[in-house]
């Protein structure tokens, strides 16, 4: 009887999925190794924790549903009363304000994920398509990214793109590269050796070159 | 957003709405379904008041969720108190369709309710960061949706033998984040 078998049996017993044979096997195991009772009690507590927390975690990640039209005015009134009118002459504040502005032009993000190697730093690549997606030059740009990175996902919300940029993607070293056609730049951010790094590379006519530069910059940070 | 940019807030409200609505529904659907939308809107209003204390955009969703959770719980307790005041002692648990009220997210005395708004938001943010695909889905499929090992393996394209590994890792992660809370 190994730990994995005990764990699997315990899980099935706790959620009442076990067959009669599995239940009998589990009972016999506990009878022969009473010290496992404490471990079983701990797993039961863990499952209660999971059942309590997971619904809320899942709800936090919900993406379906639209804000009712009638609520917008009420909420904007709250914003004006609480925060006042924005200062339109200055553009300081959170660095992600640029993304919120771009969102008005319908942003679609194409995300590519490259796992260089499980034991090496992670590089993720994204594209912010302010032209609304797959047409014209943007199609070529998406194709260019897809040709270089095997896994591609899409987002359609600028706030989420900024959240993605800021969310660590790995416990260890990682880099996030995002191409922003509207700003004509490739931004790189990440962490290497416990230190954060960031840079911006202007894209003139050569996107492939800018992407190369971004990848090289990231690898330099990783010391490769 | 912190300076009241209406366009930025429009984007934020649209982005955060699914979260506050889903969290409010989680608590209120069995008892006060007509209040879900109001609680969700009120939660976004409350978020506006707290946004100056937010440092990064990734804090917004967990904070909005935490606010919605606490507002829904407060409303439930308020209605509970009203019922008791009217001499009605009906258990809200008894009205749930879930056969396991101890684990029902709408249970009025969930340990999650004991967490302060900020602490709950922080734990949610950590959970979102830690339960990367398919870990969170595997956990939910097994513990919430009742799928069997074989069904989970098929659904996520993983080996049956890996399902237990995911479950073990997920439980350890949740224990670390939620402090080994016992929901009983």
pLDDT tens digits for B14-62?
Answer: 999 999 999 999 999 999 999 999 999 999 999 999 999 998 889 999 9
Q: What angle do CA B31, B35, B39 make, to 5 degrees?
A: 120
What gap in Å lies between CA A36 and CA A129, rounded to an integer?
55
Which of A38, A44, A67, A161 is the best mutation test for B, with the most CBs of B within 10 A? A67
Q: What is the pLDDT of residue B44?
A: 97
Domain presence at residue A69:
no
> Predicted confidence band at A107 (pLDDT cuts at 50, 70, 90)?
very low
Q: What is the pLDDT of residue A171?
A: 64
Of A49, A50, A83, which is closest to B48 when you measure between CB atoms?
A83
Q: What angle do CA B15, B20, B24 make, to 5 degrees?
A: 160
User: B157 in helix, strand or coil?
Assistant: coil
Q: What angle do CA A96, A98, A100 make, to 5 degrees?
A: 80
Interface contact flag, B19 A59, Cβ < 8 Å: yes
Domain presence at residue A84:
no
Q: Distance between the two ends of chain A, CA-based, in angstroms?
A: 44
- Does A101 share its domain with A153? yes
For the stretch A33-71, pLDDT in tens is 999 999 999 999 999 999 999 999 999 999 999 999 999
Nearest to B116 by CA among B67, B60, B81: B67
Interface contact flag, B3 A167, Cβ < 8 Å: no
- Does A134 share its domain with A184? yes
Contact by Cβ (8 Å): A204, A184? yes
Domain presence at residue A82:
no
Q: What is the pLDDT of residue A145?
A: 73
Interface contact flag, A56 B112, Cβ < 8 Å: yes
Domain presence at residue A122:
yes
User: How close does chain A come to B131, measured CA to CA in Å?
Assistant: 9
Q: What is the pLDDT of residue A24?
A: 95
Interface contact flag, A62 B22, Cβ < 8 Å: yes
Say how many domains are in chain A. 2
Of A49, A93, A94, which is closest to B180 when you measure between CB atoms?
A49
User: Is the pTM for the entire model greater than 0.80?
Assistant: no
Domain presence at residue A200:
yes
Least confident of A17-31, A120-134, B67-81, B147-161: A120-134
What gap in Å lies between CA B133 and CA B153, rounded to an integer?
14
Question: Which residues of chain B are under the pLDDT cut of 50?
Answer: 93-108, 180-184
B140 to chain A: which residues are within 8 Å by CB? 54, 58
User: How close does chain B come to A72, measured CA to CA in Å?
Assistant: 8
User: How close does chain A come to B92, measured CA to CA in Å?
Assistant: 17
pLDDT greater than 70 at residue A119: no
- Upper half-sphere CA count for residue A93 (Cβ side, 13 Å): 21
- Does A50 share its domain with A103? no
- Does A43 share its domain with A131? no
Which of B2, B7, B17 is the best mutation test for A, with the most CBs of A within 10 A? B17
What gap in Å lies between CA B121 and CA A60, rounded to an integer?
10
Interface contact flag, B23 A97, Cβ < 8 Å: no
Greater confidence, A218 or B27? B27
**A54 is in which domain, residue-wise?**
3-60
Domain presence at residue A44:
yes
Q: What is the 3-state secondary structure (H, E, C) of A70-114?
A: HHHHHHHHHHHHHHCCCCCCCCCCCCCHHHHHHHCCCCEEEEEEE
- Does A35 share its domain with A124? no
Interface contact flag, B183 A58, Cβ < 8 Å: no
A67 to chain B: which residues are within 8 Å by CB? 13-14, 17
Of A7, A54, A84, which is closest to B143 when you measure between CB atoms?
A54
Of B11, B41, B127, which is closest to A159 when you measure between CB atoms?
B11
Between A3-14 and A36-60, two packed helices, what is the crossing angle to 10 degrees?
A: 60
Q: What is the pLDDT of residue B179?
A: 75
- Does A49 share its domain with A109? no
Nearest to B120 by CA among A144, A7, A59: A59
User: How close does chain A come to B15, measured CA to CA in Å?
Assistant: 7
User: Cβ neighbours of residue B144 under 8 Å, at least 6 residues apart?
Assistant: A51, A54, A55, A58
Interface contact flag, A55 B144, Cβ < 8 Å: yes
Which of B171, B177, B184 is the best mutation test for A, with the most CBs of A within 10 A? B171
Q: What is the pLDDT of residue B109?
A: 57
Q: What is the pLDDT of residue A151?
A: 66
pLDDT greater than 80 at residue A165: no
User: B47 in helix, strand or coil?
Assistant: helix
Of B4, B44, B136, which is closest to A57 when you measure between CB atoms?
B136
Q: What is the pLDDT of residue B66?
A: 97
Give the pLDDT mean for A164-186.
77
Interface contact flag, B21 A62, Cβ < 8 Å: yes
Q: Domain end: A60, A80, A107, which one?
A: A60
């Amino acid at each position: 009887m190994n730990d994995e078998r005990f764990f699997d049996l315990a899980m099935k017993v706790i959620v009442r999925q076990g067959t009669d044979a599995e239940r009998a096997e589990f009972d016999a195991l506990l009878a022969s190794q009473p010290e496992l009772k404490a471990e079983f009690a701990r797993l039961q507590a863990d499952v209660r924790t999971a059942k309590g927390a997971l619904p809320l975690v899942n709800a936090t990640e919900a993406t379906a549903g639209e804000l009712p039209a009638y609520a917008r005015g009420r909420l904007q009134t709250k914003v004006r009363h609480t925060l006042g009118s924005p200062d339109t002459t200055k553009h300081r504040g959170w660095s992600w304000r640029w993304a919120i502005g771009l969102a008005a032009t319908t942003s679609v993000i194409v995300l590519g994920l490259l796992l260089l190697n499980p034991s090496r730093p992670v590089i993720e690549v994204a594209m912010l398509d302010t032209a609304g997606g797959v047409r014209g030059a943007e199609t070529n740009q998406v194709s260019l990214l897809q040709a270089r990175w095997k896994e591609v996902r899409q987002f359609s919300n600028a706030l989420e793109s900024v959240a993605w940029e800021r969310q660590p993607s790995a416990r260890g070293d990682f880099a996030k590269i995002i191409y922003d056609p509207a700003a004509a730049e490739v931004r790189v951010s990440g962490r290497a050796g416990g230190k954060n790094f960031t840079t911006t590379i202007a894209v003139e006519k050569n996107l492939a070159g800018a992407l190369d530069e971004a990848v090289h910059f990231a690898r330099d940070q990783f010391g490769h | 957003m912190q300076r009241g940019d209406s366009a930025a807030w429009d984007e934020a409200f649209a982005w955060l709405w699914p979260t506050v609505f889903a969290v409010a529904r989680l608590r209120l659907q069995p008892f006060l379904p007509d209040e879900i939308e109001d609680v969700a809107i009120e939660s976004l209003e409350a978020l506006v008041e707290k946004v100056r204390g937010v440092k990064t955009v990734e804090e917004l969703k967990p904070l909005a969720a935490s606010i919605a959770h606490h507002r829904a719980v407060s409303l439930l307790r308020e209605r509970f108190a009203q019922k008791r005041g009217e001499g009605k002692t009906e258990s809200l648990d008894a009205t749930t369709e879930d056969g396991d009220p101890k684990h029902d997210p709408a249970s009025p005395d969930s340990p999650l309710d004991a967490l302060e708004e900020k602490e709950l938001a922080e734990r949610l943010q950590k959970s979102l960061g830690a339960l990367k695909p398919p870990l969170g889905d595997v956990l939910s499929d097994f513990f919430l949706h009742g799928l069997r090992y074989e069904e989970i393996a098929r659904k996520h394209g993983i080996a049956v033998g890996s399902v237990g590994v995911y479950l073990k890792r997920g439980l350890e992660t949740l224990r670390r984040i939620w402090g080994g809370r016992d929901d009983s």
